[in-house]
Amino acid sequence: MNRKTNAARTVWPARLKRLLVVAVILVLGLCAMPNLYQNKTQLSISALPQAQTLPSPDTLVHLLQSHGFSVAQIGSGEPTLVTLTSQTASASAQAVLAEALRDQATVKVVEQATAPYWLQRLGLSPIKLGLDLNGGVLFVLKVDTDKALEKRMENIALEAKSQRIRDKLKGVRIERSSVAGLELVALPQGAAALQQLQTTLLAQFQHLSVQTHKHGNLLRATLSYDEAGKAAFEKQTMTQALTTLRSRIEELGITEAVTQRQGANYIRIELPGVQDPAAAKRIIGATAQLSFHALQEFGGKRVKAEHGIVGLDPLAIFTGADIDSAQAGRDEYGKPLVQLFLSSRGGDKMLRFSRANVGEPMATMYSEYIADSRGDIRQSSQVISVATIQQVLGQRFSITNLGSWQKAQDLALLLRAGSLDAPLTIVTERTIGPNLGAQNIASGFGALALGLSLTLGFMLLWYRKLGVIACMALVANLVCLVGLMSLLPGVVLTLPGIAGLVLTIGMAVDTNVIIFERIKEERRQGSSMRAALQRGYQQAQSSIIDANLTTMITALVLMSIGYGPVKGFAITLALGIITSMFCGVVVSGQLSQWFYRTKSAKGA
């Protein structure tokens, strides 16, 4: 009775362990299944609000065929989805349709999943492919935080002058001490006014520091950013730039983009699958800012307009930061406009100004940073609209006289995504076509198949029956790795990542080689096969852990400091170490026990 009880106690943990191993492989295999179905590129055509209906599918097919495009499939719903025979021509077809349907519809290039519906319902998707496999565009942008700081000090100076006028502070003069400093100067009788203005500015603008000193009979308060303040401002500027760029990419409909900080003042943007790099560059690299000003002919800021020069009040009524949303549209005459929806704070500003200025003009100024012939960055401003305030306005109104529909669409997109306080300069731009990406996939997986075949053949020839176990564990390792990469968010497969897959196969085989050599050694010493298996797996574990741990440290270092393909290789390598240890030790151990136990039972 005791023997049966002890046997039952040892059998159930072994069975439970075996069931857990099978469950893990099945789950990861299920996660890997969507990779058998490649996504397809489609054109999504959606009607504009002012359009009644979309053109019929036959009309769209005829339009595309007249420009040399072959249509494989077209839907009839809303939006209308068009699949081309050559999916690499989607960007060119999008440009043709966008021009032909500019008054009726918007046209986007989208990715459509082809996996079975039940897999999609489970939320499973294939591995995201990097630029070198899927094609696309790479940008590295430099963020000029010095220019942003200079602009911030200009705004502080304008706010100080406005505050001095509103509070009727006498005896205070405002001077710019440098591009990164501001001085408040007062006579002794103006000391109280200087202190009041200084306190207001420090409360309104974070990270400012003040140094007060006396020069003759003058009191001087120098406002500037110290080193800690500059570091905080630069961090805030970079965070704002990253947030804005991510919003712009989302507006473009790109879902698999990688946007990350690189170094101190650089941002790396990877846009896999983008087939129209010119459109992406036009939107991502734009540094547009919108502000609204009262006219001021005498003593105002002189700005270029469509018909000459206009004088503006330097202090804006409100800026793009007060805009919640924007939508391109057309007025009753069919001319393009942008409908603005302000935040509650922006609506209050507009309400106060328009109530006091009904019948007076208001100008819309468009500013952007551009590089001159010498490469220096400067701000260029232009008044794009001057309109008379006909009534009290609130949180909703329109900008007209924009010239073209494309300009209205781009401006609406930029305003929805947010403006940039710092100028951006594209220092690196690289485009990889989808055809080259397809060739990289074929070459990379060809190398993977060759390496896997040679490895399987070697293990079968050298270890015979144990080689069968190694081959089964190796296939399980590949399935688990692909499933894990598909399951985890943020994992992107690149061409070096495929090299990581090949390297993982070699590492998994190393694990089995160490174990099997230990088993051979035990057999030469006269141990039974079951005893040799048990001792071989136990004695090899420390060597396997040490070897994989050192490689894991290297992979983690590469993940922390690497970018793009280097990081893709490191992620694949790190995940491969985990799956190779699991399959090389646990899975092959369970297979060995099952195989030799079954063989012993048959022999008995």
Per-residue pLDDT tens digits for 200-219: 888 888 778 888 878 777 88
E strands, 273-376, where?
289-294, 301-305, 308-312, 318-319, 323-330, 336-342, 361-371
Nearest to 500 by CA among 583, 587, 579: 579
The predicted structure's pLDDT at residue 372: 60
pLDDT band at 14 (very low <50, low <70, confident <90, very high): low
pLDDT greater than 50 at residue 259: yes
Task: Convert the pLDDT of each residue in 386-442 to its tens digit.
Answer: 878 878 887 787 777 676 777 777 777 777 766 677 777 888 888 776 667 677 778
Architecture of the structural domain at 2-35+434-603: Up-down Bundle (1.20)
pLDDT greater than 50 at residue 8: no
pLDDT band at 48 (very low <50, low <70, confident <90, very high): confident
The predicted structure's pLDDT at residue 296: 84
Mean pLDDT, rounded, of the chain: 79
The predicted structure's pLDDT at residue 298: 79
Q: Are 387 and 400 in contact (CB under 8 A)?
A: yes
Domain ranges of the chain: 2-35+434-603, 286-430
pLDDT greater than 50 at residue 56: yes
The predicted structure's pLDDT at residue 47: 79
Domain 286-430 has CATH 3.30.1360.200: yes
Q: Which helix (H) or strand (E) holds 503?
A: helix 495-524
Give me Rg for the CA atoms of the chain: 33
Percent of the chain with pLDDT over 70: 87
> What contacts 24+ positions apart, CB below 8 Å, involve 185-189?
185/218, 185/219, 185/220, 186/218, 186/219, 187/217, 187/218, 187/219, 188/217, 188/219
Question: Which amino acid appears at position 25 of this protein?
Answer: I
Task: Convert the pLDDT of each residue in 242-254 to its tens digit.
Answer: 887 887 777 666 6
Q: What's the whole-number mean pLDDT along residues 20-48? A: 84
Task: Convert the pLDDT of each residue in 89-131 to its tens digit.
Answer: 777 787 788 778 877 777 877 777 788 888 888 888 888 877 7
pLDDT greater than 60 at residue 314: yes
Q: What's the whole-number mean pLDDT along residues 34-50? A: 79
pLDDT greater than 60 at residue 317: yes
pLDDT greater than 80 at residue 39: no
Rounded to whole angstroms, how far apart are CA atoms 477 and 505? 8
Task: Convert the pLDDT of each residue in 495-537 to its tens digit.
Answer: 888 888 888 887 778 788 888 888 888 788 877 777 887 787 7
